[in-house]
Structure 1
Amino acid sequence: MHPLLIATNNSHKTEEIAAILGSTFQVKDLSSGSFPKVAETGTTFLENATLKAVEISKLTEGWVLSDDSGLEVDALHGEPGVYSSRYAGSDGDDAANNAKLMRELAKLPSDTARTARFRCVIVIAKNGERLAHFSGSVEGSIVLASDGDHGFGYDPHFQPEGFDKTFAQLPTEVKNSLSHRARAMAQASPWLMEQVEA
């Protein structure tokens, strides 16, 4: 197995990426060592993913994969966007972020369309250099009543197009087959395999 470090402390992301990649890679994340927190000062998903991948790749051997992803709600002009994980202030407070999202949507007329998408940008770096980047998105809509106990983040409020269930209600293997991260990984995975086989 080939080592691949995911530049995150979010175990949910690590598990999702590991499940998508399969057994070719030995996937670890930042919890496996003493890595510094990289400030996400970018204004786009690509900028933030690049910051994390490049900085962490300076501190370790092998490939580093970083993703930056988030929810874009059309009626909120693309918010929370790159600030998805810290929308309510504290980084990674899913309950607070979802509560703020519901408060913001409640300010809009009741007939406002709640179309949205999850977007993911993945960057792969090595030795302090960005080697490749990939992106994926999944369209859907926001449901006001939280539903489901799978997933994380905004999953209980996001219903992907073509489904009558939220991401948090869908089985993990179904979500992993159509999620924004899965779509970005569908491009990243063959690229990684080419590097392994080269």
Structure 2
Amino acid sequence: MPPELPILIVATRNAHKTQEIREIIGDRYKVLDVNDFPNLPTVDETGTTFLENATLKAVAISREVTGLVLSDDSGLEVDALGGAPGVWSSSYGGEEGNHPKNNARLMAVMAGKTNRSARFRCTMVLAEGGEVLADFSGSVEGKILEEPFGAGGFGYDPLFAPEGQERSFAELGSEAKNALSHRGRALAKVAAWLESRG
């Protein structure tokens, strides 16, 4: 019988995020998330940076479970909006995790703006037993489209075209998106670190 894969627990209840991580790293680890552990607490993201929020989640969840915990905090930074929505990307439309409302607000505030440059940024933290082991970051430059395109992905994917592409992340398909994305770039660093650790 093949050996059991080691477990990597993602400190999120966002199934889309877990699936992306599983697609990128899943052949090396059995990727679970907090949905697999019903009694885990909800961690308040009170930080003002991606690193602060990712650390809060990784440390809190790693105190409750056995094994490696990976947390991710990520968001969209729009230059014409002074870097907003940033760490508040998931609640930008006024309701946590409501992607249509977030996208509608972004389209409204960007209407008529000629500078449409933006980036997705991701920070990941690995923790075990309440201690931070390492942190990693990745980003991808691009632009905000004037209207949403594509049915794939999640969040702001229909409104974001990565540099060198005319199509949105939502149009590119998961394999192409994962190769280009902020999360994919951060995860490549996570995977290299885990490999070096053995």
Scaled by the length of structure 1, the TM-score of the pair is 0.95
Task: Look up the match of 1:100.
Answer: 105
Q: 1:113 to 1:125 in 2, by over 3 A?
A: same
Distance 1:91 1:13 in 2: 15
Aligned-partner residue type, residue 147 of structure 1: F
Per-residue CA distance 1:151-195 (angstroms, 9 max, x = gap)? 000000000000110000002100000100000011111111223
Aligned residue pair count: 193
Which runs of no fewer than 5 residues in structure 1 stay unpaired?
Answer: none
| SS of the residue 1:18 aligns to | helix
Partners of 1:112 and 1:164 lie apart in 2 by 16
Look up the SS of the partner of 2:193 in the other structure. Answer: helix
Q: Which residue of the partner structure matches residue 127 of structure 1?
A: 129
Task: Check the 8 A contact 2:8/2:30 in 1, yes or no.
Answer: yes
Helix, strand or coil for the counterpart of 1:92? coil
Structure 1 runs of 4+ off > 2 angstroms? none
Q: Structure 2 counterpart of 1:11, which letter?
A: A
Matched residues in 2 for 1:133 and 1:32: separation?
24
2:153–2:173 contact (8 Å) kept in structure 1: no
- Structure 2 partner of 1:74: 79
**Scaled by the length of structure 2, what TM-score is found?**
0.95
Partners of 1:159 and 1:98 lie apart in 2 by 14
User: What is the aligned-residue RMSD (CA, Å)?
Assistant: 0.8
Residue identity over aligned pairs, in percent, reads 56
For residues 19 and 47 of structure 1, what CA distance do their matches in structure 2 show? 26
Task: Tell me how far apart the structure 2 counterparts of residues 36 and 122 of structure 1 sit (CA, whole Å).
Answer: 19
Structure 2: 5+ residue runs without aligned partners? none
Q: 1:161 and 2:166 equivalent?
A: no
